[in-house]
Amino acid sequence: MGWENFDPVRVGKQLEDLALIGKTEEGGTTRLAFTPADIQAKEYVKKLMLEAGMVTYYDPVGNLIGVYEGLNPEMPGIIMGSHLDTVPNGGKYDGIAGVLVAVEIVRTFFLSGHRFKPNITVVAFADEEGVRFGGSLFGSRAMTGLLSPEWLERTDEQGIKLKKAMTDCGFNPANFEQAKIDPAKFKAYFELHIEQGRILEKADCPIGLVLGISAPSQLWATIRGRADHAGATPMGERKDALAAAAELILAVEKICTPKEGQVTVGTVGSISVQPNALNVIPGEVRMSLDIRDIDINLRNQAIEGIKESAQEIALRRGIDISLEETLAIEPVILDQNLINALEQVCQKIGLTYKKLISGAGHDAMLMAKIIPSAMIFVRCRDGISHSPDEFAQIEDLYLGAKLLYHTIGSLL
C-alpha cells in the first residue's frame, strides 16, 4: 500500500534540524510566536510540504497550510496538524512531532502515487503555546472562527502588539476572519502529539487514543483576616488568613482527589501573603485554584465543594473568603467514530494502545468544536515536556504515524 515509503530516519533528522532553530544555551529551543525563529521553522516545514507534493500558503493569521490536492477537492477531506512554536527553552517534540509526521505521511502517499478524491490538508498552527502574548491556541482559534478582534490587541513584554508582530512577519491581522475554514470541507481532524504525561510509559504502551481533553476552571481566592502582632495576639483571638488558606489548600486537594474512574485534578499553584512579614499574623492571602476535569459536571461539583469548604472555614474562623472564577474553558470529548476507526486500525496492525485523556490543552480542543476530531498520543520519557529533556523514541513516533496513515487510508 506504500507504507514502506514512510521514512522515520528522515523525520528524526527533521526533528534535530528544527531543534537548532532557536536553540538555547541550555540545550532547549525557544521559538516564541511571530519571531524570526518561528517563521524560519515554518519556512523549513513549508519546504517539506512542497517536497511532499503539497501546495502551500499562509492564512492571514500565520497558520502554515499545505494541501495535498485530491481529484475531487469538493469532497470533505482530512485535516491534520499541530504546532511549531515552543515555550522558552522548550523541547523538540511538543507539537513539532505532529506536524512532521503529518507531512511525512502525505509524502508517503505522494511517493506511492496515491491520490485521493478529497484533499488532505496539513496545518502548522500559529502561536499554540501563547507564551508571548498571554493566550494559547491563537491559530486554531482563528481557524475555527472563535477569535475575537480584541485578541489582536494583546501585547508582549516589550509592549509590542500581537497585530504588529503579525504584520512584521508579513501576515494580515485585519483579515483574521478569512482564516476561518469551512467545516463542511473536512470530515476529520487528526493531531498526533507526545503525551506529556507518564500514563503510557507506566503502562508500557507506545500509543494512546485520546478520549477527551480536560480543561481548566481557574479561580482566585482572596482570604481576608486581620494582620496583628505575632507576639501580642493570643492564639484564640487571631484571624490568620494564611492558616485559613492552608486549610483551603488541603480541602482542594481532598475534594479533587478523584473517585474510581474519575480524573479530576486541582492545584493551588500561586499564593501571595500580606504583609508577608516574620512577626505579623498574615492579614490577607490571594491564591490561585486550577480545577480540571474532562466532565464539566464533575468539575463544577468539585468547585461547589471547594466553595462550601471555603464558607465553612470562613465562618468557623470569623474571616472572609471570596472566590472569583477568572477562566472557564469547556472540556472536550473527542469524536467517538474516529476513536473507533483508530482502534480498529490498532487491532488490525497489532498495535498496543491505551485509551486516556489529555490533561493539557491542544489545538484539537478548538478544532473539535467544528470538525470531528481525534488525537493520537505517543509515549514520551518520564512525562517530561516543555523542557530540553523532552524525549520520545522515534520508534514510537513511527508507530503513531503508522496508525494515522492507515486510519486516513480507511477514511478516504
126-155 binders of Zn ion (CB under 5 A): none
The residue sitting closest to Zn ion, measured at its beta carbon, is 95
**CB nearer to Zn ion: pick between 95 and 208:** 95
Task: Kindly state the smallest distance separating residue 128's Cβ from Zn ion, in Å.
Answer: 6
Task: Kindly state the smallest distance separating residue 361's Cβ from Zn ion, in Å.
Answer: 8
**CB nearer to Zn ion: pick between 96 and 281:** 96
**CB nearer to Zn ion: pick between 289 and 380:** 380
85 part of the interface to Zn ion, by CB under 5 A: no
Interacting residues of 281 by C-beta distance below 8 A, sequence separation 6+: 225, 226, 227, 228, 229, 230, 233, 238, 239, 240
Binding mask 169-188 for Zn ion (x = CB under 5 A): --------------------
Interacting residues of 317 by C-beta distance below 8 A, sequence separation 6+: 225, 239, 240, 243, 244
**CB nearer to Zn ion: pick between 139 and 372:** 139
254-313 binders of Zn ion (CB under 5 A): none
Task: Kindly state the smallest distance separating residue 270's Cβ from Zn ion, in Å.
Answer: 23
**CB nearer to Zn ion: pick between 319 and 329:** 329
**CB nearer to Zn ion: pick between 94 and 335:** 94
Task: Kindly state the smallest distance separating residue 393's Cβ from Zn ion, in Å.
Answer: 18
Window contacting Zn ion (CB under 5 A); options: 25-33, 44-52, 86-94, 243-251:
86-94
> Could you tell me the CA-to-CA distances from 172 to 31, 61, 129, 273, 274 in Å, in that order?
20, 6, 20, 44, 45
Binding mask 322-351 for Zn ion (x = CB under 5 A): ------------------------------
Binding mask 87-106 for Zn ion (x = CB under 5 A): -------xx-----------
Task: Kindly state the smallest distance separating residue 330's Cβ from Zn ion, in Å.
Answer: 19
**CB nearer to Zn ion: pick between 104 and 129:** 129
**CB nearer to Zn ion: pick between 129 and 247:** 129
Task: Kindly state the smallest distance separating residue 403's Cβ from Zn ion, in Å.
Answer: 19
Cα three-residue angle 232-225-327, rounded to 5 degrees:
155
**CB nearer to Zn ion: pick between 85 and 240:** 85
SS (H, E, C) the chain: CCHHHCCHHHHHHHHHHHHCCCECCCCCECCCCCCHHHHHHHHHHHHHHHHCCCEEEECCCCCEEEEECCCCCCCCEEEEEEECCCCCCECCCCCHHHHHHHHHHHHHHHHCCCCCCCCEEEEEECCCCCCCCCCCCHHHHHHCCCCCHHHHHCECCCCCEHHHHHHHCCCCHHHHHHHCCCHHHEEEEEEEEECCCCHHHHCCCCEEEEEEECEEEEEEEEEECCCCECCCCCHHHCCCHHHHHHHHHHHHHHHCCCCCCCCCEEECCCEEEECCCCCECCCEEEEEEEEEECCHHHHHHHHHHHHHHHHHHHHHHCCEEEEEEEEECCCEECCHHHHHHHHHHHHHHCCCEEEEEECCCCHHHHHCCCCCEEEEEECCHHHCCCCCCCCCCHHHHHHHHHHHHHHHHHHC
**CB nearer to Zn ion: pick between 94 and 293:** 94
Total residues at interface with Zn ion (CB under 5 A): 2
**CB nearer to Zn ion: pick between 95 and 139:** 95
Task: Kindly state the smallest distance separating residue 82's Cβ from Zn ion, in Å.
Answer: 6
Task: Kindly state the smallest distance separating residue 69's Cβ from Zn ion, in Å.
Answer: 28
Buried b (16+ CB within 10 A) or exposed e, 121-142: bbbbbbbbbbbbbeebbbbbbb
Task: Kindly state the smallest distance separating residue 336's Cβ from Zn ion, in Å.
Answer: 23
Task: Kindly state the smallest distance separating residue 152's Cβ from Zn ion, in Å.
Answer: 22
Task: Kindly state the smallest distance separating residue 44's Cβ from Zn ion, in Å.
Answer: 18
The site for Zn ion (CB under 5 A) is made up of 94-95
